[in-house]
Structure 1
Amino acid sequence: MTNSLSEWVAFLSLGVGFWAACAALLYLLHDASLADFDPRPALRRAHQGLVHAGHDLNRVIAHAERLARRSALSAAALLLLLSAPTGGTR
């Protein structure tokens, strides 16, 4: 019983795919230490990013409050200057 060309090509393709899967796993694990598989540094970086975002948000809120306060003071001072009686109305 002989095999057809399509069966030989299918078997060759299966062999190359298996070799590629094993080689990929080997390349991933080669020269890897246990610390490379530790998720804590990534979680720590994500947490620091969230903390940074919180600090940035607090900084923006404080800046907006100062801006509102300064604007209110400036508007009050301008209103006092514009509503002061002039020399002809005394």
Structure 2
Amino acid sequence: AVFGAVGAYAAGCSLLYLTCDADLADFDPRPAVRRVVDAGRLDAVLVRVANARFDVRELAAETRLYAALSLRDTAITATALLALLVPAPSESVR
């Protein structure tokens, strides 16, 4: 219990000491992100993300085409199977 109380007190005090003289601008990540982007460190990541968007569109188009063609092939197969299984009407029905 003593160690838990000391740990909780230390955690609370560390947050207090870190933020007591802090400005709101100290917690703004935009300048750091801007420096990283301007330095060119994220260029490879940005290129991959842009290419991934086009790859996803291409995959979706191929999937739609495959679904349409497989549905057409299934309909043709079902029609041929029905033509084979349904008996032909006889000419003389009495």
- The alignment's TM-score, normalised by the length of structure 2, stands at 0.55
| Residue 78 of structure 1: aligned partner | 85
| Residue 28 of structure 1: aligned partner | 33
Size of the aligned set, in residue pairs, is 72
Q: Which has the larger radius of gyration?
A: 1
The percentage of counterpart residues that share the same residue type is 6
Q: Which runs of 5+ in 2 are unaligned?
A: 1-18
| Residue 13 of structure 2: aligned partner | none
RMSD: 3.4
Residues 1:44 and 2:62 are matched in the alignment: no
Distance 1:61 1:49 in 2: 18
1:24-71 residue CA offsets vs partner (Å, 9 max, x unmatched) = 246536766514046432221100111111111111111101100001
Q: Which runs of 5+ in 1 are unaligned?
A: 1-11
The ranges of structure 1 where at least 4 consecutive aligned residues each deviate by more than 6 angstroms after the TM superposition are: none
